[in-house]
Amino acid sequence: MMPQAPLVWNGLRPGEIVTESQMAQDATVQFIGTIHTPWADPHACPKWGDEVDGPVCWINLHPRWQPALKGILAKDRLQLLYWLHLARRDLLQQSPRSDGETLGTFAIRSPLRPNPIASSHVRVIAIEGPLLSVRGLDCVNGTPLLDIKPEGAALKGDLSCPCA
Amino acid sequence: MMPQAPLVWNGLRPGEIVTESQMAQDATVQFIGTIHTPWADPHACPKWGDEVDGPVCWINLHPRWQPALKGILAKDRLQLLYWLHLARRDLLQQSPRSDGETLGTFAIRSPLRPNPIASSHVRVIAIEGPLLSVRGLDCVNGTPLLDIKPEGAALKGDLSCPCA
């Protein structure tokens, strides 16, 4: 039966398929900090971060990891991995347009995934102690941080690059 | 004291600094498949995957997640996230050249990280049932898979793109 009420962010939309197997717990992640953004709930988040014109967001790194920032000032672009703590994890197929047409979870970049880990590239604005300000994020305020990496090397034949 | 024996992959090198705080266990990940590569141990792995000339590697997705591949044949480039299960997780500063000069863990793409999650872009060769063959991986045989995503959109002013 199709729901009559507006669909919630984490609810099921027409045609969507879930796995009913119990979730395995194969390894644990530790949160290394918290991301502060202007978006108070997932509905308000943009679909994509914008590292040029998007708002400045703050990362508050746990102080124990502050020594791991040594040398990062030389990087002006970073890859962040973060944990989408509000996402359901059992969706096999999703209907992004809520029209009953579905795509597999692995064919879309939806936040609803078996392991709700997001990956974004951001531009660094400033770093002061354990606080980093960046542009390019897309997640809800309070999202836990998993990792900070310098941007990966350009790849051979990069399809995202129009001149490659 | 500097070790006399050859340094093992997961051992401490001169100058390296670890955190001694207990690791938090804030959330759990589930392994969704296994990656098969030609590299039997971490010493043998390349520093970077090569999605043009690298060897073909196999991903064996757990059958429960096979329905989540629907629509993925339209994508010829994917982002994979995988769990570097052999990596130590307590390094704050690392000495990539083993010379006592250190960089923070977040300033390098070392596999040794608080959350040992690798992110690579790969080119799809073929998909047959729950088996995917791809080029571009860099990890040890048997590495657990965490996620498959279509490649992210090209970003404004992409610094990895020489014509941007």
pLDDT at residue number B39: 97
pLDDT at residue number A3: 42
Contact A160 B149 (CB under 8 A): no
B chain contacts of residue A154, beta-carbon cutoff 8 Å = 160-162
Q: How far is A135 from chain B (nearest CA, A)?
A: 12
Residue A101, in any domain of the structure: yes
The residue that leads in pLDDT, A152 or B58, is B58
Q: How far is B29 from chain A (nearest CA, A)?
A: 5
CB-nearest partner of B108 from A91, A150, A162: A150
State the CB neighbour count (10 A cutoff) for residue B141.
16
Q: What is the pLDDT of residues A95-129, one digit of tens each?
A: 999 999 999 999 999 999 999 999 999 999 999 99
Q: Which two tokens stand for residue B60?
A: 């064996």
Residue A160, in any domain of the structure: no
Q: What is the pLDDT along chain B (164 residues), one digit of tens a residue?
A: 444 434 457 889 999 999 998 999 999 999 999 999 999 999 999 999 999 999 999 999 999 999 999 999 989 899 999 999 999 999 999 999 999 999 999 999 999 999 999 999 999 999 999 999 999 999 999 999 999 999 975 544 444 433 32
B chain contacts of residue A149, beta-carbon cutoff 8 Å = 106, 109, 113, 119
Residue B31, in any domain of the structure: no
The answer to whether the CB of B145 falls within 8 A of the CB of B32 is: yes
Contact B68 A104 (CB under 8 A): yes
A chain contacts of residue B137, beta-carbon cutoff 8 Å = none
pLDDT at residue number A1: 42
Q: What is the pLDDT of residues A27-60, one digit of tens each?
A: 999 999 999 999 999 999 999 999 999 999 999 9
CA angle B49, B52, B58 (to 5 degrees): 60
pLDDT at residue number A153: 59
State the amino acid at position B21 in one-letter form: S
A chain contacts of residue B103, beta-carbon cutoff 8 Å = 70-71
Phi/psi at B65 (5° precision): -95, 0
Distances (CA, A) of A115 to A24, A89, A112: 11, 7, 8
Residue B120, in any domain of the structure: yes
**In terms of residue numbers, what domain contains A92?**
30-150
- Which run of H or of E encompasses B148? strand B143-150
**Whose CA is closest to B123, among B68, B61, B52?**
B52
A-chain residue closest to B68, CA distance: A104
Residue B9, in any domain of the structure: no
Predicted model pTM: 0.90
Q: How many domains does chain B have?
A: 1
Q: What's the CATH number where A40 sits?
A: 2.40.30.70
Residue B111, in any domain of the structure: yes
pLDDT at residue number B10: 81
Residue A4 has pLDDT above 90, yes or no: no
